[in-house]
Structure 1
Amino acid sequence: MSTSPPRQRIDTEMQDCRTLAPDCLEPIISFTSPLDACRWSVVSRSFNDVARSNAVWVKSLPSDYQNLVPASRSTFPLKDLYLSLCDHPVLIEDGRKDLGTIWADYPINARGLCQYKE
Structure 2
Amino acid sequence: MEITILPDECISLIISLTSPRDASRLSLVCSLFPSAVNSDVVWRKFLPHDYHQILSNSALASSMDSLSKKQLYFHISHHPVLVDNGNMSFATDKENGKKCYMISSRRLSIVWGGTPTYWLWKSLSAESRIKIKFKSKGL
TM-score, normalised to structure 1's length? 0.61
What letter matches 1:50 in structure 2? A
| Equivalences, count | 90
**Residue of structure 2 equivalent to 1:73:** 64
TM-score, normalised to structure 2's length? 0.53
Give unmatched runs, 5+ long, in structure 1. Answer: 1-12, 106-118
Rg larger in structure: 2
**Residue of structure 1 equivalent to 2:43:** 57
Higher percent of residues as helix? 1
In structure 1, distance between residues paired with 2:94 and 2:37: 21
**How much is the aligned-residue C-alpha RMSD, in angstroms?**
2.9
Give unmatched runs, 5+ long, in structure 2. Answer: 99-139
Alpha-carbon deviation of 1:78?
A: 0.6
Higher percent of residues as strand? 2
In structure 2, distance between residues paired with 1:98 and 1:89: 5
Of structures 1 and 2, the one scoring higher in RCO (CA 8 A, sep 6+) is 1
3-state SS, counterpart of residue 85 of structure 1: helix
Alpha-carbon deviation of 1:32?
A: 0.8
**Aligned pair partner of 1:103 in 79, 86, 96:** 96
Indicate the percent of aligned positions where both proteins have the same amino acid.
34
In structure 1, distance between residues paired with 2:74 and 2:18: 16
